[in-house]
Every structure is written in structure tokens, then in C-alpha cells.
Chain A
Amino acid sequence: MTMMNTLLGAAAALAVTAGAALAEPGLIIDLGGKFDKSFNESAYTGAQRYISEKGGAYKETELQSEAQREQSMRRMAESGANPVITIGFMNISTLDKIAPDYPEVNFAIIDGVVDQPNVKSVVFEEHQGSFLVGVLAAMASKTGTVSFVGGMDVPLISKFACGYAQGVKAVNPEAQVIVNMIGTTPAAWNDPVKGAELTRAQIAQGSDVIYSAAGGSGVGVLQAAADEGVYSIGVDSNQNYLHPGSVLTSMLKRVDNAVFQIFEEGETDSFTPGIQVMGLANQGVDWALDEYNEELISAEMKATVEATKQKIIEGEIEVHDYSTDGACPAL
């Protein structure tokens, strides 16, 4: 039996190594869906851009339920994909468990830190990007009240909210920032009706700029803001085009750049495990200006936000990161 195990193990190891030699990268799209017009879509866009620029192919799978998480991660690793990218903080515990089982496979996780020798952890400084859109929100607001609609109530989303509130207060210390979360379960990423209802409630409380970090529920937030004639701010992907004239800007989280880069590292065999931080300085996060919102952003707003961006990069302004201590000075 022991002999048999050794043989099987050797065969498996051989198979994995053989796979690694001609590996295609793999991407596991998370719950929320490939076309959430936000976080997951950004990862998908990055993969597509890589394929169209560099050629080749990649493997892709999309989670349909929480229960498939481990299964699809293992299947992706066993199918010979290398590196395997998982996106979202929900993967942390699963990846931590299965990464040691596939030492030959390189894994990457976006939005989470997994301390394993074959895992690259990519984290974004969302608080910095949120600070910038907070500055814009405060300058665009006429009522002095702005708000935030988060998806699931988790520290990552509070990080967005906290950065945003700090940005708002930096421009207008008197401003009021209303923060609401849609729910406490993953269903909160897919409830546009509740998102819209929260948005209406915030507008009723005087808010006239609403920042949404709520995955698929965000479309409901942006829609309600457009219906009520106030400004909204998109997240992750550039969502300015969804409601031109209503979406003030979008907080870009360049998951696509991260995916692109990891694919490239896999191709050129330069994959490095460890933590990689994507911030304002290396275009990991940014604010969006394009033909859909250029009329909403005055020259003064643009100048202020660019100056703020420079100050954050140079360290002159320090944006507090909620996830470091679970508290927010601006809220």
C-alpha cells in the first residue's frame, strides 16, 4: 500500500510538472459573476487584454456557489493551469488550505493575503483611490451631505468607506457622510433592489453624491441616483458610461492590471510569491476621467484631485487604512 502510494504520488507529481511546462494561466471568476460591470469584470478584462496582446489562451471558470470554491480551485490546479488566479477575499481560507497540496503550482490571490511559499498576494490601496473620489464628491456636493453604499459588511468594504469619508472631510470638514451596507451575507453583492432603496433613503437624508462599492448591487445604486437626478460614483471598473451625466467618476481598481501582470509573470517564468501592493503610485488604483464625465469635472476639481493624488504618492497626505485597526477617524 505504501509502495502504491509512493508510485501514485510520483505519478501525480510528474503529471503536475508536465503540466507546468506547457501551462496556460488559469482564472477563477468569483461569485458576483464575470459581467458584474465591476470587480470580476475587471479581472476578466485583464485576462482578455493579455490574450489579445500576447496571444495564447487561458483557462477560466466561474463560481456559481460558495460550495464550489475549493472544488474549482483544486480542479484548476489539477488541470495544469499555472499560475492560478483567484479573486476576492473570500478565497483566503480555502487557498491557504489547498496551496500546500499543489507545491508545483503558483497561485495568486487578489484582495487577500495568504502566507504560503507558492502564493502571490495582491492587495490594493483602495483607501487611497476612495480618498480621491471623496475629494471629488465633496467638491461636487451642493448639500454638504454625501453617502456611501457598501455591499457586504466586511472590513474590505469599510476600507473603501473610510478612505472616501477622509477625502470628503479633507475638502469640507463640516460635511456629513452617510454610510450604509446592503447586507451581511454574499447575497448582498446581488441585490440591486435593496441597493436602490438604500440610495433613495440616503437621498432623502440630503445626500447628493453617492459612492457605491457593492459589486452587482451597484447597478441599482447608480440607477437610483440617475433616476433621482443626483451624482453617483462607480467602483472597480470604469462605470462612467452607465449613466452619462449622473456618474461623477469611478474609483478604478486596476484588477485587470494585476491579472495581466501575473499572466505575464507566468509566461516569462518570473513569478514571485509574496505580497504585492497596488496603490496610486503604481496605477493600482485611480479615478476615472473620460468623455462621459468630462463635463461634470471642472478644471478646479481636476486640479485639486491631481494635486491630492501627488501628495498621497509623496506621503504628504496619509490616508488611514481601516483594515489595519478596524477603526475610522473620519466616521
Chain B
Amino acid sequence: MDLNTVLLILDSTLRLATPLLFACLAGLFSERAGVFDIGLEGKMLIAAFFSAAAAALTGNVWLGLMAGCAASMVLSAIHGLASITFRGNQLISGVAINFLATGLTVLIAQDWFAQGGRTPQLEGGARFQPITLPFAEALSGVPVLGPVYGDLLSGHTILVYLGFLAVPATWYVLFRTRFGLRLRAVGENPGAVDTAGVSVTGLRYAAVMICGLLCGFAGSYLSTGLAAGFVKDMSAGRGFIALAALIFAKWRPWSALGACLLFGLLDALGNRFQSIEIAGIALPVQFMQALPYILTVVILAGFVGKAIPPRAGGTPYVKER
């Protein structure tokens, strides 16, 4: 394998990891505050649709991004209402959101565009275009560094860079600010936070809304960055993989980056080498495609130790009985 092949695989890894990363960080905020969210998939899907739809109608991808985030945050608010205010079961609410998104996107798409649940193809300003980082041209002659910078790091859409910047931002917010401390506390011991006179409900709502915003970025990237338009069910299980990455990362931002890059890399490898021969044995393509999941099970079962979720996760907070 030469340098060029490695670079292309890593390049593909960055693209494939970005939606996972956004969704994973989204889940991180929500679950750290004690609200389990298996509706990441649905929120991504609805954001993918609304961002593609708004971009198709206005021709402006930024308006699309905003519409996608808004739609995703509406679903987040529903999740919050059901699981925080009405103290419903968080898993059931999440499942409902996934179903709602699957149905709504196709229905609205059919009504607006009459193309059988798709949006029209996006072109030009209605898509996120790759941006070339400064000095990429100038460095192209330099061995190793030139291609690494020019081919691998440069030439992605702005959302990819935002995704990677979101990791330190998340870390800073959660571990270096008062808001982050309280948010983590509310996921571990909401009673203590309440005793200190801080609103548990308010914090949890803030967390699920941030989750909605980040899912909006993930979905928008799928339909306006990676693809050029919405197709039904286009999130294709990426929300659930993000959830797996979150557990794998033990609910920590930097580990989440690593987990998402690993899943992205495995996906990219599966695309590049559909069947690999190792020591004379040809591994079938099905194995390559199942690898991320097999790896999740194996790693979770034995290598990273026990993944302990936030203690108050999944239970609605009841002030007094």
C-alpha cells in the first residue's frame, strides 16, 4: 500500500466519520445530562430532509443548515417534553422519534416535491462545497507533508472542520465551565443539583436542545455535504453507530473522536477493499461490512473494561413523592 492509497483511505475516513462525530457528541450532551437518546437516527434523518428541502427551495445551503437544525431541535423538544416534563420512558420516546422522522420525511417530501419522498438534486450554492485550506497549493511540492496537508486535510466541506472543532469545544464546555459541571452533575445525581438550587429541568432541556443542534449538523452534512439531496432513510443506521461509538468512548469527548474515526476508518476500509486476502484466506465482503459491529462487541466485552453510563441516565427526575 503506497502513501497515496493510505491518504485516500484516511480522506474517506474523515468524510465518513464526520456525521458520526456530530451525532456522537449530540448523544454525549444528552446522556451526560441523564437523558438517554436513541432518537439520534431520527433527528439526523429529519435534519437531512429539511436541510436538503430548504436548500433546494432557496438555493442557499446555509439556510438549509439552519432549517435542518431547527427541525432536529423540534424533535429534541418533543423528546424533552416526553421524557423530562412528563417523565416518560426515554427509550420509548426515542423510538417514537425515529418512527416519526421516517414517516414525516417521506410524507412531506412527497407533498412538496412529488418525487416519491426525495428532494430535487442540489447544485452549486445549495450544497456545501469543498474548501481549500490556505497554502495547500504552495505546500504541494513538499514530500509527505504536501500531500498530507493538500489531499487529506484540505478539500473538505466546512462541516468537516466544524465537526472536528466541536470536539475540543465539547470538552471545554463539559469539563471547564460551570454549565458543564452542572450538566454532568445532573446526569449523576440530580438530587444534589436540585438541593444546590439549580434547575434540573432547565439543565436537561438545555442538554437535549444542544443534542438537537448537533444532530442537525450531522443530518445536514449527509444530505448537503456528502450527498446532493435527500433520499428516504438515507441516515442508514448511522445514528445507532454513533450511539455505539458513544458507549465505546465511555461518554468522553476525546474518546468519542477516536471511536468515530475508528468506525469511519473501518467503513472506508470496507469500501476500498471489498475483499481482502490475508494469509491466503479471502475474507468476504460481508465480513468487512460487519467488522465495525463485530469490533464494537469485542472491544466492549473485553478490551476497554466496563462502560458505565451516567448514573442517573434513563430515569426521570422526580422532585418529591
A residues bordering B, Cβ < 8 Å? 33-36, 41, 62, 153, 180-181, 183-184, 187, 190-194, 196-198, 200-201, 204, 216-217, 219-220, 223, 242
Contacts and interface: CB of A to CB of B under 8 A. Distances in A.
Contact of A201 (B226, B237, B272, B285): B272
Nearest to A35: B116
Interface stretch (B8-16, B67-75, B88-96): B8-16
Nearest to A183: B289
A181 B270 CA distance: 11
A223 B234 contact: no
B118 interface: yes
A22 B130 CA distance: 58
Interface in B96-129: 115-118, 121
B222 interface: yes
B285 A153 contact: yes
B195 interface: no
B193 interface: no
B271 A180 contact: yes
B229 interface: yes
A237 to B, nearest CB: 13
B148 to A, nearest CB: 16
- B115, B226, B231 — most chain A CB neighbours (10 Å): B231
Task: Enumerate the 7 nearest inter-chain pairs by beta-carbon distance, A residue then B residue, closest first.
Answer: A35-B116, A33-B116, A204-B8, A34-B116, A35-B115, A192-B227, A201-B272
Contacts of B233: 187, 190
Nearest to B236: A191
B311 interface: no
Interface in B238-283: 267-268, 271-272, 274
A35 B118 contact: yes
Contact of B231 (A190, A201, A204): A190
Contacts of B8: 200-201, 204
A194 B116 contact: no
B66 interface: no
Given A191-B234, A193-B234, A242-B121, A200 B12 contact: yes
Contacts of B271: 180, 194, 197-198, 201
Contacts of A220: 227-228
B18 to A, nearest CB: 11
A318 to B, nearest CB: 28
A252 B267 CA distance: 32
Contacts, number: 79
Given A192-B227, A223-B228, A242-B121, A181 B285 contact: yes
Chain B contact-residue range equals 20 to 34
Interface of B: 4-5, 8, 12, 15-16, 115-118, 121, 222, 226-229, 231-234, 236-237, 267-268, 271-272, 274, 285-286, 289
B274 A180 contact: yes
Contacts of A190: 231-234, 236
Given A194-B271, A197-B12, A200-B12, A216 B231 contact: yes
Contacts of A181: 274, 285
Contacts of B116: 33-36, 41, 62
A196 B227 contact: yes
B309 to A, nearest CB: 28
Nearest to A227: B228
Contacts of B237: 187
A196 B226 contact: yes
B15 A197 contact: yes
B54 to A, nearest CB: 19
Contact of B229 (A34, A198, A219): A219
- A41, A62, A181, A204 — most chain B CB neighbours (10 Å): A204
A242 B227 CA distance: 14
A41 B116 CA distance: 10
A187 B236 contact: yes
Contacts of A216: 118, 231-232
Contact of A192 (B5, B15, B234, B267): B234
A193 B222 contact: yes
Contact of B227 (A183, A193, A198): A193
Nearest to B229: A219
21 contacts: A33-B117, A153-B286, A181-B274, A183-B289, A187-B233, A190-B231, A190-B233, A190-B234, A191-B234, A192-B227, A192-B231, A192-B234, A193-B236, A197-B271, A198-B271, A201-B8, A201-B12, A201-B271, A204-B272, A216-B118, A223-B121
A193 to B, nearest CB: 5
B253 to A, nearest CB: 25
Given A33-B117, A34-B116, A219-B229, 15 more contacts: A41-B116, A180-B271, A181-B285, A187-B236, A192-B227, A192-B229, A193-B236, A197-B15, A197-B16, A197-B268, A200-B8, A201-B8, A201-B272, A204-B8, A204-B272
A217 B289 CA distance: 17
